Structure 1
Amino acid sequence: MTSMAAEFAFVRNGSTATTTTAAAALFSSNWKASERKSHQSLHTSCMDDKNRVYKQLGLFSLKKKIEDTVLRAEMLAPLALELEEARRNKQEQQIRDYNLWDDTAKSSEILAKLADSAKVVDALKDLTYKAEEAKLITQLAEIDAIHYGLFRQAYVASLDVSKLLDQYEMSKLLKGPYDMEGACLVIKAGGEGYPEVWVKQLLSMYTKWAKKLGYKGRVIEKRPSTNGGIKSATIEFEFEFAYGYLSGETGVHNIISSQNGSALHLASSASVDVFPLFLGKAHDLQIDEEDLVVTLPSMLEEEQGQTGPSVSIQHIPTSVTAQSSGERSHFANKIKAINRLKGKLLILALEQGVTEDALFLAESKF
């Protein structure tokens, strides 16, 4: 009897021990799960707070940029619009007082200026509207607490305003006689280092610059080299004020680079030539055919594929040369080369401070 009681007690104690162990294991598991969940919740809360802070900082930055742009527009646009409208009204009055049939050339010039003034007035009105739109959207976003989508919409409108302001201010700075025209830019490799690679980089830089402005640089001529670079390239920028923007690029561009981190540095150079590309009618500069030397590639060079139907024209009195090889025929390349030559001669006359007629004097008189 005693042994049975002892055996029962042992079984009972064993069951109790087993139950206690299971309860402890369950408590430990629940505690770990709770701790893990609490840790995850804390981590999520921290991330939400961090994202909220980042978002608020982003909104503050957007709001500051929008306010600066709107303030700039409010300071500049009304006065600029008043001046441009006065200029347009004056030109309209000039047309009413002038007999357009007396001098067709003068009439075309007046009408072209009037069209430009009307375009500027419309752009300034659009600028004012976009600035008011950005300001109103910002105010609505503040009323609706914080609305990221509205701030983004206002920011996009402010970018348009800033771009229009930059274009207007630049148009007022570019007052040269040909600054409003398009531009033809010619890049040629120098003779040191790796100039062909440098020409390729410059070509990419200029085309990306035009794309950033919302325009396109048309590569019409490109002569590749054997090392993967470019010997020469010609780009045409057919948008207003392209020459004004790019005229300062004329000259020799240098770059110093090292190969594989070595101490030896190589200098590469490339020459850049920029001249106006007339967007309307071509300039009526008259050039005597006897003052021109036209050079065509030899038949052997064309058969060997060394060159296409290129044309090179030299103006004897000034020794100025222009080439063209982007067209499919010699005749088309000759026309384009003559137009480029005219652009170079006009810029030469402007730089020398002489009249266009003086371009036909002997080179020694310059």
Structure 2
Amino acid sequence: MRAETQNTIDAIQTSLDLLAQRLGVETAQHRLEEFNARVEDPNLWDDAEAAQKLMRDRQTLVDAIATYEGIKQDLADNIELIELGEMEDDAEVVAEAEQALTKLQSKAAEKELEALLDGEADANDTFLEINAGAGGTESCDWASMLARMYIRWAERKGYKVELQSESAGDEAGIKSASYKISGHNAYGWLKSESGVHRLVRISPFDSAAKRHTSFTSVKVYPVVDDNIEIEVNPADIRIDTYRSSGAGGQHVNTTDSAVRITHHPTGIVVTSSEKSQHQNRDIAMKALKSRLYQMELDKRSALVNEAHENAGDAGWGNQIRSYVLQPYQMVKDLRTNYETSDTKGVLDGDLDGLMGATLALAVSGKSRADAQADG
């Protein structure tokens, strides 16, 4: 067997070992049997919320077992094919199996990262806010580019994207936009994107074709589900309604359907302007609870606190990532030093490498902190 192939096998096995550790493979089947017994309880749905949580937890375990067993079996099958091909001197069979192992390595590495998404809100849906910063029209255009990038990324993941509110730029792009992104681990993946994103390019709005630098801030908050209790004192908030400035139509600017909620103790302001006033109130209140919950998560995690502090004003000194389109092509994350020259791919939503590097760094930092605490 070629050394390169053995290295691929070793990498897959390393990912399998981590998956086994996170899954608790020795007791996984026993835990599944316990779930199955509880699901068969005729009184299960007497408490709908508890039943729904049980079903979600069971499905998560089923998926984790299937992922682990599937990768393990694919690895064994392809090793057997390579050995058989080498015995029979069949280069074509060996090549096909080696190609399958390369794909399996990528899959195993992705599942290994997903297994690290074990924070209490990582599995939740998420709110994504984009706000243009210093740079005028340039930054508004950059904000719209980032919005497109995240929408493309979400589509690649099979996630659902819903626009919550949007404010158009004066000449181009957007001043701000808020989205709800729904799908398993949506928050876990996107949480590392909070911060300021910097773009360097030749401006399409400058007749002199000069190079411009633009800044846009991104903020990410988990959608608070029914299992997380966040109390909001009605005396602490102000609810305003105003006229939505939508894309057009006979009802635009004729009814005060958009909603703005201001939380006085924290200064948080959330808006929703896409649906009826009743729906907007519900959407805005959920967004407020998510912001408050994120603040609580920040207090618990030094790493998240550091990232939150970095997400200050959208300008020099606060950026987490640079996207350089001129005079060379490079996207570089300033926290992990992960970089790629495939700027087109990144702006088209190929973000897993950047996100994965940040996630791995956060996990290793957490492990070091836990070790120090234990010591």
TM normalised by structure 1 equals 0.63
TM-superposed CA distance for 1:120, in Å, is 0.7
CA 1:257–1:187: 2 relative to 1, 3 Å: same
Q: Deviations over 1:90-133 (max 9, x none)?
A: 57559979x988x9566765664343223211111111122233
How well do the aligned residues superpose, as a CA RMSD in angstroms?
4.1
CA 1:306–1:144: 2 relative to 1, 3 Å: farther
d(CA) in 2 for partners of 1:267 and 1:123? 44
Q: Deviations over 1:25-77 (max 9, x none)?
A: xxxxxxxxxxxxxxxxxxxxxxxxxxxxxxxxxxx9xx877654433233442
Identical-residue share of aligned pairs (%): 21
TM-superposed CA distance for 1:331, in Å, is 0.9
TM-superposed CA distance for 1:342, in Å, is 0.8
- Show the 5 A alignment for 1:123-162: 123-139=67-83, 142=86, 143=88, 145-147=90-92, 151-152=95-96, 155-156=99-100, 158-162=102-106
Paired amino acid for 1:192 = G
d(CA) in 1 for partners of 2:4 and 2:133? 44
d(CA) in 2 for partners of 1:334 and 1:68? 55
CA 1:76–1:196: 2 relative to 1, 3 Å: closer
Q: Look up the match of 1:205.
A: 149
CA 1:73–1:332: 2 relative to 1, 3 Å: same
Q: Look up the match of 1:84.
A: 25
- Show the 5 A alignment for 1:270-309: 270-278=216-224, 281=226, 283-298=228-243, 305=252, 309=257
Does the CA-based 8 Å contact 2:130-2:216 persist in structure 1?
Answer: yes
Paired amino acid for 2:99 = Y
Q: Name the count of aligned residue pairs.
A: 288
d(CA) in 2 for partners of 1:299 and 1:171? 39
Q: Look up the match of 2:289.
A: 342
Give the number of the structure whose alpha-carbon radius of gyration is greater: 1
- Show the 5 A alignment for 1:200-349: 200-212=144-156, 214-216=157-159, 218-220=161-163, 221-259=165-203, 265-278=211-224, 281=226, 283-298=228-243, 305=252, 309-327=257-275, 329-349=276-296
After alignment, is 245-254 or 103-112 more displaced? 103-112
- Show the 5 A alignment for 1:12-161: 67-77=6-16, 80-81=19-20, 83-87=24-28, 89-90=30-31, 109=53, 112-139=56-83, 142=86, 143=88, 145-147=90-92, 151-152=95-96, 155-156=99-100, 158-161=102-105
More RCO (CA 8 Å, sep 6+): 2
After alignment, is 311-320 or 252-261 more displaced? 252-261
Does the CA-based 8 Å contact 2:32-2:58 persist in structure 1?
Answer: yes
CA 1:310–1:152: 2 relative to 1, 3 Å: farther
CA 1:261–1:228: 2 relative to 1, 3 Å: closer
CA 1:136–1:227: 2 relative to 1, 3 Å: farther
CA 1:74–1:353: 2 relative to 1, 3 Å: closer
Does the CA-based 8 Å contact 1:297-1:307 persist in structure 2?
Answer: no
